[in-house]
DNA sequence: GGCATTCTTAGACCACTGGTCTAACTGGTG
DNA sequence: CACCAGTTAGACCAGTGGTCTAAGAATGCC
């Protein structure tokens, strides 16, 4: 499986694992995948190049691993985010709005992880982001598809367009909104208003 | 001004200008900015590295120039696209739908230019795309802002959100739709249906 | 305790990158 | 023909991601 550190990485001393992941997170968050330097990560982590390639298949493999690691950390700390089981549209959207608000707060409190995940999502459409990092993106797909399915079943989401198009549109919209929110960070007092605006935009796109 | 070949480039023999731009277009369209190799472009163009740096400030400068060159070519061949002057919303959207249809047809007939422009728009959110290429993107802004303004004036576009957010949302949506259309290219017979779907999605986002 | 085996590390080496720089070539002018 | 400005060629540089091999370290067995 791509995007998976070699099993021997998990047998490595915890402190050293952390040193590698921290160095990688810092570099990838600051510069994005393409402009990040594996050599700088290696130096910062205090290991040798041979070691790095002993534990990871390469730069892309390390990147995908760090993304998974951070996603799992966010879910563990701020989750869970089960697929909504509500039966009425208002309930459905309320749950999703709550998830979004929670995620926004979490990422506002963890700017490095936020930057990493942003860079990853933004780069998803470019060739320089390799298969491994795209595979990481694919991992979110089942959750998204299930949520979409639920929304369609209860009348909250349109059924006249291909699911892939609906999801893509929401993701594209979400990223654009994200970019704007970075430039115009809402005060905590109006975070919920911002979330309402976001949910409204998404609902408009997906409403039956 | 960045993104501008040095004036001496325009004094270069036409054939050689074209060789450089063709080699650059091919490489950037195929691999995107980050993974493109300036050395390969140089070799393919049949010039020396010293020459390339004599005419351009670097890889990024060349990229921005090729983008402008292709955008201008598209506008020259398939334009013009004046800011709509209609006074009623339906007229406004009809004009924009016509522009979109024309652009889609144009880009379907010019896949290399389409790939280049796609790579550019997709990369706009990533750090590896430099200031010069982002400046090229900024050049579309006045047209977009004017169109948005017209739409707002005649009641076709909402006024309750920041213009930057509305534009960003439309661009983000547009890219997601574009990605989907690449994977699911519509037959010419249903191109207008596809355009209608796209316009509907955009209208939902921006409607008052 | 020594030896063999396996695991892990170190860093030399490679082809390639974008970019700089200098010498040489070319063309125009007086 | 000499001089000057414009242009070209490609050597050189620091850095990249990745490979490879030798050496060191750890473990297990007799």
Query: Per-residue DSSP letters for chain A?
Result: -TT---HHHHHS-HHHHHHHHHHHHHHHHHHHHHH--HHHHHHHHT--HHHHHHH-SSHHHHHHHHHHHHHHHHHHHH---PPP--SSHHHHHHHHHHHHHHHHHHHHT-HHHHHHHHHHHHHTTSTTS-HHHHHHHHTTHHHHHHHHHHHHHTTSS--SS-HHHHHHHHHHHHHHHHHHHHHSPPPGGGHHHHHHHHHHHHHHHH--
Distances (CA, A) of B72 to B67, B117, B133: 8, 12, 15
Does residue B132 carry a pLDDT above 80?
Answer: no
Q: B176, B177, B202, B203: which to substitute to probe chain A, counting the most A Cβ within 10 Å?
A: B176
CATH 1.10.10.60 residue spans of chain A: 7-66
Tally of residues, chain A = 208
DSSP state of B50: H
ipTM of the complex: 0.89
| Residue B91 banded pLDDT, cuts 50, 70, 90 | very high
A172 with B172: Cβ contact below 8 A? yes
Task: Give how far A31 is from chain B: nearest CA, Å.
Answer: 6
Region B84-97 average pLDDT: 93
Contact list in B for residue A128 (CB cut-off 8 A) is 32, 34-35, 128
Q: Residue A134 contacts by C-beta under 8 Å, 6 or more apart in sequence? A: A124
Distance in Å, residue B93 CA to nucleotide C23 C1': 61
Does residue B1 carry a pLDDT above 70?
Answer: no
Chain A: residue nearest B125 by CA? A122
DSSP state of B41: H
Report domain A7-66's class: mainly alpha
Task: Give how far A133 is from chain B: nearest CA, Å.
Answer: 15
Contact list in A for residue B204 (CB cut-off 8 A) is 204-205, 207
Region B163-168 average pLDDT: 92
Distance in Å, residue A156 CA to nucleotide C18 C1': 52
Strand C nucleotides, any atom under 7 Å from protein beta carbons: they are 7-12, 16-23
What's residue A1's pLDDT?
43
Query: Which residue spans within chain B are E strands per DSSP?
Result: none
Contact list in B for residue A169 (CB cut-off 8 A) is 173, 176-177, 180, 201
Task: Give how far B37 is from chain A: nearest CA, Å.
Answer: 12
What's residue A3's pLDDT?
54
| Residue A136 banded pLDDT, cuts 50, 70, 90 | confident
Nearest nucleotide to A55, CA against C1' atoms: C8
Which tokens in the block code for residue B17?
A: 């200008």
Assess contact for B196 and B97: CB atoms under 8 A. Answer: yes
Region B109-120 average pLDDT: 93
Spatial separation of the C-alpha atoms in residues B37 and B47, rounded to whole Å: 14
CB pairs under 8 A between A and B: 109
Contact list in B for residue A177 (CB cut-off 8 A) is 165, 168-169, 172
């Amino acid at each position: 499986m791509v995007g998976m550190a070699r099993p021997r990485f998990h047998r490595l001393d915890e402190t050293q694992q952390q040193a590698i992941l921290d160095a990688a997170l810092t570099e990838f968050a600051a510069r994005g995948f393409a402009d990040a330097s594996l050599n700088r990560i290696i130096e910062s982590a205090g290991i040798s190049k041979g070691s790095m390639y002993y534990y990871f298949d390469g730069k892309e493999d390390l990147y995908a691993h760090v993304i998974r690691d951070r996603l799992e950390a966010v879910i563990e700390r701020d989750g869970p985010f089960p697929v909504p089981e509500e039966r009425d549209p208002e309930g459905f959207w309320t749950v999703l709005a709550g998830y979004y608000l929670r995620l926004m707060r979490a990422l506002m409190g963890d700017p490095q992880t936020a930057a990493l995940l942003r860079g990853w999502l933004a780069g998803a459409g470019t060739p320089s982001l390799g298969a491994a990092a795209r595979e990481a993106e694919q991992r979110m797909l089942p959750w998204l598809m299930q949520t979409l399915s639920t929304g369609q079943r209860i009348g909250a989401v349109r059924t006249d367009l291909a699911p892939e198009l609906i999801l893509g549109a929401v993701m594209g919209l979400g990223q654009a909104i994200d970019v704007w929110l970075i430039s115009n960070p809402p005060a905590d007092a109006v975070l919920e208003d911002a979330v309402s605006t976001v949910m409204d935009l998404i609902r408009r796109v997906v409403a039956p």
